[in-house]
Amino acid sequence: MRHPDRQTRLRCVRCERPACPECLRDASVGYQCVDCVRESQGSVRRPRTFVGAEVGTRPLVMPVLIVVNVLMFVLTAVQAQSALNNQRSEVFEALVLWPQGVALFGEWWRLLGAGFLHYGPTHIVFNMLALYVLGRDLEPAFGRVRFLALYLVSMFGGNVAVFLFGSPNALTAGASTAVYGLMGAMLVAVLKLKLNPGTALAVIGLNVVLSFTLPGISLVGHLGGLAVGAGLAAGLIYAPRERRELWQGGLVAATTLVLIGLVLVGSTQIGL
pLDDT (tens digit per residue) in 37-52:
777 665 556 788 889 8
Beta strands in 117-252 (DSSP E): none
pTM, two decimals, is 0.82
CATH topology of domain 61-271: Rhomboid-like fold (1.20.1540)
Domain segments of the chain: what residues? 1-44, 61-271
Could you tell me which residues come within 8 angstroms of residue 252 by beta carbon, excluding any fewer than 6 positions away?
A: 149, 153, 232, 236
- Between CA 157 and CA 149 the distance in angstroms is 12
Chain segment 219-260, per-residue pLDDT in tens: 899 999 999 999 999 999 999 988 999 999 999 999 999 999
Q: Which residues are catalytic?
A: 176, 222
Give the pLDDT confidence score for residue 199 in this predicted structure.
75
Q: Which residues of the chain have pLDDT under 70?
A: 1-9, 21-22, 28-29, 40-45, 210-216, 270-272
- Between CA 161 and CA 107 the distance in angstroms is 16
- Tell which residue, 229, 233, 191, 232, has the closest CA to residue 207: 229
